[in-house]
Amino acid sequence: MTDTRLSFVHRFEPAPGAGRPPLLLLHGTGGDENDLLPLGRMIAEGSALLSPRGKVLEGGMPRFFRRLAEGVFDEADVRRRAHELADFITEAREAYGLAAPIAVGFSNGANIAAAVLMLRPEALAGAVLLRAMVPLSEPPAADLAGKGVLLLSGSGDPIVPTENAGRLAAILKGAGAAVEHRILPVGHGLSQADVTLAKAWLDSNSAKEI
């Protein structure tokens, strides 16, 4: 169902049963609220799916925050938009009766998810970050104890250097998150390996929750 009543245009699919954490699906540049729903259904059958559309437009393409160039972020906007997204999560949890979600973000969506973890850690239960990079050059001190993060990077990614992804993993680990970082022999696009690994990781984390 598409909903415009809350602060982000979004799609929401309720869980068919209990027992699995909801997913917050965060698209990449040029995607929208429909983009990652098929992925969410594949990797977390039985989870509620909450999928907002980024509010920033770059050449008509939705994003979750502004960038100055490829790989160069407007960090003031990153911070503002991360708080805006965290506030939306609070709204949606109240509206739909949800537990704290696990973010599943791709590219720009993964970067805003990482920023929310750093700035508003209480908003998320954990995250699957697909092709993420460091969103803030000077991240604040955050307490991510008890939160799991799966970071999937591509060794041939022309946009995200593996060194940058490794630095993000180190920042999240340093804040107390349980980070699993896998570097796959792929580029920036998603692969079947991403689906398989994300599903296995979510299955494992859901089992711990029950």
Instruction: Tell me which residues are annotated as active site.
Output: 107, 157, 188
> Alpha carbon 204 to chain centroid distance?
18
**Contact between residue 52 and residue 81 where contact means Cβ atoms under 8 Å apart:** no
Burial of residue 131 (CB within 10 Å: 0-12, 13-18, 19+) is buried
Closest by CA to 88, choosing from 72, 101, 106, is 101
What's the CA dihedral at 90, 9, 202, 160 to 10 degrees? -110
